[in-house]
Amino acid sequence: MNIILFLVVLAVLVLVHEFGHFIVAKRSGIRVDEFGLGFPPKIWSVKKGETTYSLNAIPFGGFVKIFGENPNEASVSGPDSARSFVNKPRHIQAMVLVAGIVFNLLFAWILISTSFLFGVTASTTDYAQYGSRLKDSHIVVTMVQSATPASNAGLRAGDTILAVTTLAKAGGAGGDVTVEQIKKTISESGGSPISIIYSRDGKTMSAEMVAISTVIAGKYAVGIAMDNVGTLRLPIHLAIWEGGRLTIHAIGKIATGLYDFVAQIFTGKANFSSVSGPIGIVGLVGDAAHIGITHLLVFTAFISINLAIINLVPFPALDGGRLLFVAIEAIIRRPIKHSVANTLNMVGFALLMLLMLVVTYKDIAKLVAN
């Protein structure tokens, strides 16, 4: 079921991205030969006007075949040369290339705004201005550090903490528990055993552990991050506003993270275990859907933003690489040799496939280890 859900999410995101290229190319008078979901071999196709719409067997992606995007003699000088991508003004070419990225970002904004409209889990600290609209406030584990007392005891991100008590002496946080009370109880445990009562999937559970002073220097801790959250439901105008604000914030965070990761690849310090490929994302999509539809919408929005940012990277075979070619041609005032552009795109695509294989191998290794 998770695989089917992942393929649906991927298909929708690719459809949105490629539709951006498709509609702007059409409106710019460029001939579009094919709009394909997935990669060949072809399963089904239908031709409407000059464009073939196809469904293909390999589900990881999609494409729009724009006349002249991969230039050759026919597109430069043939009977339809005036409708060729390569013969359109540079600003038109740039608009077509960036359209997929823009559509993915707009789609993310729509998804996040929809989540706020129907109710999404939100931090009571970050959205304190909507205090009266935040319902069912509770403390949730947002992160569990590996190889710590909390991870060894089985706590997971998403668990709701109900109470924390010190077993060796009276005292603890219970009732209307707060993040500050929990931190105080753990910090003052002095290395004595503590019990954390929490709920997961509607079941109340408990875990015993001993706080250590090596997680946070000078303090006893168990290796978790927490936040006080509630369900936030907003009217449509505020949902659109907060959806846009969160989208912009996510763009900045994802772009910074991607820049750091790429820089670490060149310095040999990249941690591929922190990156998820298709296999890893299958599980994450399933987890988000299990929590609720609004969580799935937000998760899909973040994937859409990732897709947009990655495509903006100035690397051959990506939209950003082709935008770079257009910029270079605008500066030198002549086209880059077709053979050079096509070769660079082929090499770039091969390197991207190699990276995908490495990430997929890491995904499989993590599954086997667990």
Count, in order, helices (H) and strands (E) of the chain. Answer: 10, 11
pLDDT attached to residue 48 = 93
The mean-pLDDT minimum among 37-51, 143-157, 196-210, 275-289 falls in 275-289
Percent pLDDT > 90 in the chain is 38
Residue 113 has pLDDT above 80, yes or no: yes
**Domains, the chain, ranges and CATH?**
2-116+286-369 (no CATH), 129-232 (2.30.42.10)
Residue 274 is given by DSSP the state G
Task: Mention every residue, 6+ apart, whose C-beta is less than 8 A from residue 82.
Answer: none
Reference 71, options 349, 322, 348; nearest CA is: 322
pLDDT attached to residue 276 = 57
pLDDT attached to residue 316 = 83
pLDDT attached to residue 114 = 96
Mean pLDDT throughout 362-369? 57
Distances in whole angstroms, Cα of residue 31 to Cα of each of 26, 28, 100, 279, 294 = 7, 9, 17, 36, 38
**In angstroms, rounded to a whole number, what is the distance separating the alpha carbons of residues 45 and 73?**
27
Q: Are 331 and 323 in contact (CB under 8 A)?
A: no
Reference 349, options 308, 312, 321, 307; nearest CA is: 321
* Tokens 């009370």 belong to residue: 181
Residue 342 has pLDDT above 80, yes or no: no
Q: Are 35 and 64 in contact (CB under 8 A)?
A: yes
Question: pLDDT, tens digit, for every residue of 239-261?
Answer: 999 999 999 999 998 888 888 77
pLDDT attached to residue 91 = 94
